[in-house]
Structure 1
């Protein structure tokens, strides 16, 4: 009954506070002890909500990280380092390839490193909210 008093935004906030990520039974190639749990959760959430696999697309790594960093700044949380963020991207999208646009030493511009095989989602949707209605079952 107390849950019904919460507004939708309060329910969303509580939902986002729930733990997520691999269950204890799943083995992760990423060493979670080296990352803050909240930072890891925010990075995974952002990646899943904003990126998707697409074989013909290449995204500059720095652009992806900058967008994630802006998300963290808006949330008021500390972003992961670029290296740890890259590890999570490779864990979520194991088929991506690292690509370099521009030849080595043949351009007056520095090489641009990209994630090959992912793109920004064209429609970003809010995560589904769980039903928080408490139902009493008679036994």
Structure 2
């Protein structure tokens, strides 16, 4: 059985994503590795689910639950500054976007509780020039 059939494309995606993350200001290189695995798993699974994201990860962890806990810890790590990490990635990805329309969806569920909802009457444009 090949790696591709067993794990999908997650290891290949990880190998392509990891170099981009190396240039960012990480407080610990292990956070860059975890972030790269989560991104690769998200791209492969195409759903918003940490268990799905870590299912293709190559790890020394004995149980899948250990990988899920590591993913949750990374996402809630106060030492990982989202603006410092994600903003350069977003700006790099959108640098050559041009005049194409961009729709950005933000998950506000953590801000307003379980039943909070924010609606915009019209699509919001980008306020910065990339």
Q: Same fold (TM over 0.5)?
A: no
Q: TM-score, normalised by structure 2?
A: 0.36
Higher relative contact order (CA 8 A, sep 6+): 1
The structure where strand makes up a greater share of residues is 1
Q: TM-score, normalised by structure 1?
A: 0.34
Which structure: larger Rg?
Answer: 1
